Chains A and B, each alone.
Chain A
């Protein structure tokens, strides 16, 4: 199989209309992500620091992001989210399905609060879309939401997100 970004974008929309995607990962469609998120940013990963949580029961990785653009929510320059998983010393915690961030990685991030009040990526890995350059140098958002695969121009995605959020009165 071979990638065609243009077509994959079309697939994403096609699936939107018809899918009943389910998994152990609860599907969140883009409109769910857009309306549930406390904030939505385009940002670059500046630091990833794994640590044991305060209760010393789980390893969380604090992900510091330099915000390039606030798509929704309060405007900030820096943002930190925490995700379970990471290595501290010789001990590593792996949680399949949760996003793992790389230094320098540029993302569209949907940020939600969990039951403990932690700032997390909404919908696990669904709330993190990578920003990549296509062959022509244009920025695209690439990832997977409950709608299916996402691969579309960043500009288009941001406009859709804003529209969805406005439509929901947020």
Chain B
């Protein structure tokens, strides 16, 4: 493996996600639209017939899960009520509707589900006033796993828009516009989805608990790039968050967990294209795709930047050369036999402790040497032998054996192709999947939010301040000690400052988040939460 690819492998660990901040030109200023958070947002849900819900489904629970997931990680909160309206309309009430009417069929035409969000200008800020989600009544929707589109999966994506976030630019995030209907990963959120949500709806301590990076994207060091995809990659665990450069080539990534990062920029030339993330929110200025993929500091020696809690790491300059290299990986897939190519609509997933044949396709791939493919992050080995090559529909591809360690951190990784002078990347296209699903309490169909009816854990458990950097956040805290059993899950939380357990990832979260657990949607079940003398929180159901 050549030095550059190796460096990328070490530094650019990137189960990448991206979120697109909604921006609107308000006079001379560009502003982000968002919901007010002084009161909980009322969501009404209409599941009354006629509709196309598969019998036996639990649409209310599925919809609520998708919303509660966002509420768990941001300051926005929701109240749910049965709907009095049936159609998507500007009526002052946010609605999720399955109702089969001509109006809804018109509104959802072309979509599995669609979101209509309204905003107005208040105090110089674009404020969301209403958001309606319509599930296409011409299509079957289900929570039973068969016979239709999975409601929670679709809702997970649509809530992205409900919040006024735009499509994400990196494959694999919940906000990315394309995905395989059989891939239910949009039921859960990736870190970038979380960061985007928290950016728009910050906790009271977000500004002091997270950091920010900002800088410029300038071709040749002078020409501002409008519409470049800028990705920050956390070195420690490969988590990535991204932004789109705007006027002056300026970019800024908020709500970053403290840590060290590398940053690269890539043009929107596939697999994500400008029209996939820009529904007019960037105005009429065309995205500039005439620059090469490049890390800040250069591809041979990417600069590592420290991001501290409550601080901004500013002045990060990305200065790629102008032009096009001709190296452009745009599609990934998994080959069943190592010789026959296959292509996925979004990310590919390989389970911990297994091997697979990764297909990398796109222009210039034929010139990439056998050791020129790398997958970011620890625990994934890419073989330089046993490579198969070919051309499909005029596009070259190579098939490379990959092995995922049993302990490889799960998440979305980026796939890099290096032909020597140039680098190409498919951001977030390779997902390391857990060998064993999280225990049932953490991975069932329904999310049940105990807060706010349940008191904050801090009022139940006198938990001690965290050590280390003192700022538990996404991905930080004390990891779950073991996977528990089928009937209980244990969390060691001896050093949470106060508050909550992030049951989704099994780590300590921050004080302001509600407690969210995945649990069976059987109302006969009860949950008991107890603190043991050792400081362990025992959850039994």
Is residue B280 within 8 Å, beta carbon to beta carbon, of the partner chain? yes
Is residue A74 within 8 Å, beta carbon to beta carbon, of the partner chain? no
Q: How many A-B residue pairs have CB under 8 A?
A: 223
Is residue A138 within 8 Å, beta carbon to beta carbon, of the partner chain? no
Decide if A115 touches B392 in the complex (CB within 8 Å).
no
Decide if A24 touches B111 in the complex (CB within 8 Å).
yes
Is residue B402 within 8 Å, beta carbon to beta carbon, of the partner chain? no
Decide if A93 touches B177 in the complex (CB within 8 Å).
no
Decide if A144 touches B119 in the complex (CB within 8 Å).
no
List of A residues within 8 angstroms of B145 by Cβ? none
A→B interface (CB under 8 Å): 1-4, 6-11, 13-26, 28, 52, 55-59, 84-85, 90-98, 100, 102, 112, 114-116, 118, 120, 122-126, 143-144, 148-149
Q: Of the candidates A7, A26, A91, A112, which one forms a contact with B111 in the assembled complex, judged by CB atoms under 8 Å apart?
A: A26
Q: Considering the complex of A and B, which 7 residue pairs feature the smallest CB-CB distances, nearest first? A: A14-B393, A7-B363, A10-B394, A115-B105, A57-B89, A124-B110, A3-B269
- In the assembled complex, the Cα of A98 lies from the Cα of B109 at a distance in Å of 10
Decide if B269 touches A22 in the complex (CB within 8 Å).
no
- In the assembled complex, the Cα of A7 lies from the Cα of B327 at a distance in Å of 10
Q: Would you give the shortest CB distance from A113 to chain B, in whole angstroms?
A: 9
List of B residues within 8 angstroms of A149 by Cβ? 270, 273, 330
Decide if B119 touches A94 in the complex (CB within 8 Å).
yes
- In the assembled complex, the Cα of A57 lies from the Cα of B91 at a distance in Å of 7
Decide if B345 touches A21 in the complex (CB within 8 Å).
yes
Interface bits B271-287 vs A (CB < 8 Å: 1, else 0): 00101100111001000
Cβ-closest chain B residue relative to A123: B110
Is residue B103 within 8 Å, beta carbon to beta carbon, of the partner chain? yes
List of B residues within 8 angstroms of A100 by Cβ? 279-280
Decide if B111 touches A2 in the complex (CB within 8 Å).
no
Q: Would you give the shortest CB distance from A39 to chain B, in whole angstroms?
A: 17
- In the assembled complex, the Cα of A26 lies from the Cα of B15 at a distance in Å of 27
Given contacts A2-B293, A116-B102, contact A92 B118 (CB under 8 A): yes
Decide if B106 touches A2 in the complex (CB within 8 Å).
no
List of B residues within 8 angstroms of A116 by Cβ? 102-103, 105-106
- In the assembled complex, the Cα of A95 lies from the Cα of B329 at a distance in Å of 30
Q: Would you give the shortest CB distance from A26 to chain B, in whole angstroms?
A: 6
Given contacts A10-B395, A11-B395, A122-B110, contact A2 B280 (CB under 8 A): no
Decide if B293 touches A96 in the complex (CB within 8 Å).
no
B→A interface (CB under 8 Å): 22, 24, 87-91, 102-103, 105-107, 109-121, 126, 129, 136, 138-139, 154, 157-158, 161, 164, 166-167, 177-181, 266-267, 269-270, 273, 275-276, 279-281, 284, 289-290, 292-293, 323-331, 333, 341-343, 345, 361-364, 392-395, 422, 424-426
Cβ-closest chain A residue relative to B291: A2
Decide if A97 touches B118 in the complex (CB within 8 Å).
no
Decide if A124 touches B109 in the complex (CB within 8 Å).
yes
18 contacts between A and B (CB under 8 A): A1-B362, A2-B269, A2-B424, A4-B326, A7-B364, A13-B393, A19-B345, A26-B110, A52-B90, A57-B87, A58-B116, A96-B167, A96-B279, A97-B167, A102-B284, A118-B106, A144-B275, A148-B331
Decide if B110 touches A126 in the complex (CB within 8 Å).
yes
Q: Would you give the shortest CB distance from B438 to chain A, in whole angstroms?
A: 25
Given contacts A94-B117, A97-B114, A126-B110, contact A11 B158 (CB under 8 A): no
List of B residues within 8 angstroms of A122 by Cβ? 110
Decide if A94 touches B105 in the complex (CB within 8 Å).
no
Decide if A2 touches B324 in the complex (CB within 8 Å).
yes
Given contacts A2-B269, A3-B269, A100-B280, contact A91 B110 (CB under 8 A): no
Decide if A19 touches B343 in the complex (CB within 8 Å).
yes
- Knowing that A1-B425, A116-B102 touch, tell me 6 more A-B residue pairs with CB under 8 angstroms: A23-B179, A24-B112, A84-B116, A85-B279, A93-B117, A116-B105
Q: Of the candidates A1, A13, A20, A143, which one forms a contact with B180 in the assembled complex, judged by CB atoms under 8 Å apart?
A: A20
Decide if B276 touches A144 in the complex (CB within 8 Å).
yes
Decide if B167 touches A21 in the complex (CB within 8 Å).
no
Q: Would you give the shortest CB distance from B368 to chain A, in whole angstroms?
A: 13
- In the assembled complex, the Cα of A11 lies from the Cα of B324 at a distance in Å of 17
Q: Would you give the shortest CB distance from B460 to chain A, in whole angstroms?
A: 40
- In the assembled complex, the Cα of A20 lies from the Cα of B178 at a distance in Å of 10
Given contacts A90-B121, A149-B270, contact A97 B91 (CB under 8 A): no
Q: Of the candidates B88, B109, B267, which one forms a contact with A115 in the assembled complex, judged by CB atoms under 8 Å apart?
A: B109
Q: Of the candidates B116, B161, B293, B363, which one forms a contact with A8 in the assembled complex, judged by CB atoms under 8 Å apart?
A: B363
